[in-house]
Amino acid sequence: MRKVLRLVALSVFLVTSVLIVALNSSFWSSYPQGRPSLVGTALERERLNRLQADANRRLDDQVRIAVEVIIGHLSLIEAMELYNEMDQGWVHPGFKAWILAARRESEVDWIGRRVIGWVRRILQDDPDQLVIVSCLEAELQGLSADRSKTDQTLTKEQP
């Protein structure tokens, strides 16, 4: 009999505690509009689903561009331009500046390394094709060297 009474008392306590917390308005004050509505929750879920679909589409586009570089339909410069266009809505300018400062590299190097990184991921199972990666890295070094020469020339010309 004591076990039954303890079980009933525990059940009543738990149910009462849950009701007090659920009905207490201060519990819901952490939400900006108070207690979330079913419609608000559905709208937020829909927004998050759209964001996830956009992120998946962006990843698919990055892989597609890297594959086109591998098969020779796009040059490294064209792929870098496409990556830069994709970043417009995704990468916050402050984050990009922080990354560039942290890595101490130019935007051209950063975007080029991202393209080469995707090419490397795609070709990682085929070591014979990794020659493409070394060719792309050499092309990126050439672009960086040309850019630094141009920057030095512009710096010397300024009074």
pLDDT digits (tens, 9 = 90+) for 80-134: 999 988 888 777 778 888 888 888 888 888 899 999 999 999 998 887 888 888 8
Give the tens place of pLDDT for each residue, 61-77. 999 999 999 999 999 99
Q: What is the Rg, in whole angstroms, of the alpha carbon atoms belonging to the chain?
A: 28
Hey, where are the domains in the chain? 63-157
CB neighbour list of residue 13: distance below 8 Å, 6 or more residues apart:
none
Against a cut of 0.85, is the pTM above it?
no
Cα 58 to chain centroid distance, Å, stands at 9
Residue 76 CB contacts under 8 Å (≥ 6 apart), including other chains: 69, 112, 115, 116, 136, 139, 140, 143
- SS3 category, 25: coil
Question: Quick one: 115 exposed, middle or buried, by C-beta within 10 A (0-12, 13-18, 19+)?
Answer: buried
Dihedral of CA 132/133/138/144: which sign? positive
